[in-house]
Amino acid sequence: MLGGTSQYSIQGKSFGDLFKYANNNNEESVFALQWKTDANYGSGNNCNTQFGISNGTISTSNATYGGVFGPSQDILNLYSVGDARRNETIMFPGNVYSDMKIKNGTTFQVGFTVPAADQIGGQGAGAAIKKYCIGIENGNNTGPIDAWAMMDNNTYIMRFSEVLLIHAEAILAGGASTSDAAALKSFNAVRNRAGLSDVSSFTFDDLFTERRKELAFEGDYWFDLGRISRTKAIAIMAAQNRGNMWGAEYYTPAEKDFTLPYPANDVAKNPKLLDAPVQYQF
């Protein structure tokens, strides 16, 4: 569904507020999945449970499980301390979220201090994903839940901040760097909302990193890796620590990891699918 406003902006909401149920279809939402709990499994948004914390004592979801996903080790050092996106994207030990309702043992409380790294769960990451994690059902703050603790908070497909970064990248147009005023206006608008100062120029790598900071856990980074050179993408992925808080692990992908093979039935019907793609001449 397209956003509920004709005038898109990134000025109306703080970064953290964007992912709360009460702000569905806000002025930054260009396109979003509209979840609606209806007593059927899968009709609601399950990110609150799968991204949250559930260690047997503390739970940020009405479900009895949680922390199915955790942040990778390499992303834990991605943000500067002054970046407003840092603590609204990742729950680090000691972070305080005053408006989040949780279950602590047998009691419920509003206000949550993230526990020590070894008590978080989430694949042993030592931290948890905050984005889309809005806590135990709490009236209009979280909206309704269903029997599986799924919720009605939207999932973004595109936000206006990404449009601004696309605009900046389009002006960069494959160049080494740019100090174009229009590109900087878009690029710095995203940085400024995160509490960061203006830059006077940026490179593609700067923009690529800014996209990851802004859009982490929104399903964009894999596709960003897929649109750069395979050599560069493989180098980036090979350098990423994919282990946990107790030990590092690394994986170097191969060319075949970036594509899915054509189904055998389709190839049987049309063998030309296996031909090399025709190069388009611009």
Task: Return phi, psi of residue 242, to 5°.
Answer: -110, 25
pLDDT per residue over 247-268, tens digit each?
999 999 999 999 889 999 999 9
Determine contact, residues 54/102, Cβ cutoff 8 Å: no
pLDDT per residue over 27-48, tens digit each?
999 999 999 999 999 999 999 9
Which structure tokens are listed for 253? Answer: 């992908």
pLDDT for res 155: 97
pLDDT for res 229: 94
Residues 6+ apart with CB under 8 A from 39: 146, 147
The burial class, CB within 10 Å (0-12 / 13-18 / 19+), for 93 is middle
What does DSSP assign to residue 97? E
What's the rounded Cα separation, in Å, for the pair 45 and 133? 10
DSSP one-letter string for 179-195 = --HHHHHHHHHHHHHTT
Determine contact, residues 21/151, Cβ cutoff 8 Å: yes
pLDDT for res 6: 54
pLDDT per residue over 192-243, tens digit each?
999 999 999 999 999 999 999 999 999 999 999 999 999 999 999 999 999 9
What's the rounded Cα separation, in Å, for the pair 204 and 148? 42
Per-residue pLDDT band at 58 (split at 50, 70, 90): very high
pTM above 0.85, yes or no: yes
